[in-house]
Structure 1
Amino acid sequence: MSETAETLRLDKWLFFARFFKSRGVAAERIERGGIRLNGQPCRKPGRAIRPGDLIVISAFGHLRCIRVTALPERRGPASEARESYEILDDGAAQKSG
């Protein structure tokens, strides 16, 4: 699937939204199976995503469920990145000591 104005590669989005420090790390996590897209396992970093998609990220001991709300054009400051998603469930907040 080619990338259009309405879609963005999953690895790019995860990097732009600041879930991973680099696009390479995001791609590696996707290929290892740590990401689910709309309820389905996703192992392709180039998978096109769009606003409304649901992403579950399993990384760094946390499980996060988020909804894509926007497709940023760059990796900007954290406040700008935060506008591109909505946290539906953050497993980090539910961890018990």
Structure 2
Amino acid sequence: MGEGDRQRLDKWLWFARMARTRVLAQALVENGYVRVDGRKTDQAAKQVGPGNVLTLALAQKVVVLEILGCAERRGSYPDAQKLYRLIGPDAPEGE
């Protein structure tokens, strides 16, 4: 996990396990379900990295998170959780 790295939005969503496949991650972005720093984007190749805030309109809820890092490959769920911090209504108490 590189702290200063940036990577494609669709790839980051897949690595962070926000989508089951990279194709689904691309579809989320291209269909307007993702905002980066409050701005809607339809570019799956948009570069994101630590400090960016993503808002995802998923099937059952809206998820707001801050990117903490990027990964070189898709890892386990606990590894994926280290890539972001929830900051929306689903954020754990005390943060």
Common fold: TM-score over 0.5 = yes
**Match of residue 95 from structure 1:** none
Identical-residue share of aligned pairs (%): 26
Partner residue in 1 for 2:79: 80
Q: Which residue of 2 aligns with 1:65?
A: 64
SS for the counterpart of 1:13 is helix
Report what 1:94 is aligned to. none
Partners of 1:75 and 1:62 lie apart in 2 by: 23
Stretches of 4+ aligned residues off by more than 3 angstroms:
none
Bigger strand fraction: 1
Aligned residues: 88
**CA 1:90/1:74 → structure 2, altered by over 3 Å: closer, same or farther?**
farther
1:6 to partner: Cα distance: 2.0
Secondary structure in 2 matching 1:81: helix
Distance in 1 of aligned mates of 2:43 and 2:21: 16
Unpaired runs of at least 5, structure 1: 92-97
CA contact (8 A) 2:5 2:69 kept: no
| TM-score, reference length from structure 2 | 0.88
More helix by share: 1
CA distance in 1, matches of 2:15, 2:89: 19
> Larger RCO: Structure 1 or Structure 2 (Cα < 8 Å, ≥ 6 residues apart)?
2
- In structure 2, the partner of 1:12 is 11
